[in-house]
A = this chain, B = another copy of it.
Amino acid sequence: MAAGEGDDSATTGSTLGYALLSLLTRGPATGYQLTQQVKAPLGHFWTARHSQIYPELARLSAAGWVDSVEQAGPGPRAKKTYAVTPSGLAALRAWLVIPPTAQPRSEITLKAYAATSADPAAMAALYTDLAERSTRLLAEFAQDAERMRAAGQDDPGHPRFGNYAVLMMGIESQRAVHRWACWLAACLRTGRPAAYGEPAGD
């Protein structure tokens, strides 16, 4: 430990840092490009704004987990293209196999918890809308999945297999949301216990 620079294996990263490293394993990118790439398919399960991404890239760079090269940018500042370093990849690999503990947060489920306090018709409309939204998303995701399978991305050996895996989770989640929202809307509309799995006029 001579100068406190370079690959210090004692450094700990944030989840956002590992998310950015994951994105950079697809290839070098600028902060701006990462901001776009985090939108899909990762955005269904993880989001970050540019205001969070730029400082985090600086931290990753200070930790020696990414390298950057500067080019003349369009604006007043230089454009920086980042790439993962070997120590960054090692850190990512170590983080990946740690079982996650974070609990999910779902505002729509929280609202269901208090469903009986609100107007039943308005709440039923909320969950009917949600069911429609999930139908749209499922159609969209199914198309994406078809395209990925055609490109061989459903093979675990493909470098972008992770994109396919995340999309599959999106499909499973939206199927779950759709079934639940249909059931809940039916309950609230009729005012009586509804059976599960019946689309009921959707």
Contact = CB atoms under 8 A, between A and B. Distances in A.
A22 B99 CA distance: 32
Contacts of A126: 96-97, 99
Contact of A105 (B104, B110, B177): B104
A78 interface: no
A108 B113 contact: no
A180 B164 CA distance: 12
Interface in A61-82: none
A106 B46 contact: yes
Contacts of A89: 117
Contacts of A105: 45-47, 102, 104-105
B180 A115 contact: no
B119 A93 contact: yes
A53 interface: no
Interface in A32-85: 42-47
A116 B162 contact: yes
Contact of A45 (B109, B162, B165, B183): B109
Contacts of A191: 156-157
A76 to B, nearest CB: 32
B123 A96 contact: yes
Contacts of A162: 112-116
Interface of A: 15, 18-19, 21-22, 25, 42-47, 89, 92-93, 96-97, 99-100, 102-120, 122-123, 125-126, 129-130, 154-159, 161-163, 165-166, 168-169, 172-173, 175-177, 179-180, 183-184, 187-188, 190-193, 196
16 contacts: A22-B113, A25-B116, A42-B113, A45-B109, A46-B110, A47-B103, A92-B118, A93-B118, A97-B123, A102-B107, A115-B165, A156-B191, A157-B191, A169-B176, A172-B177, A172-B179
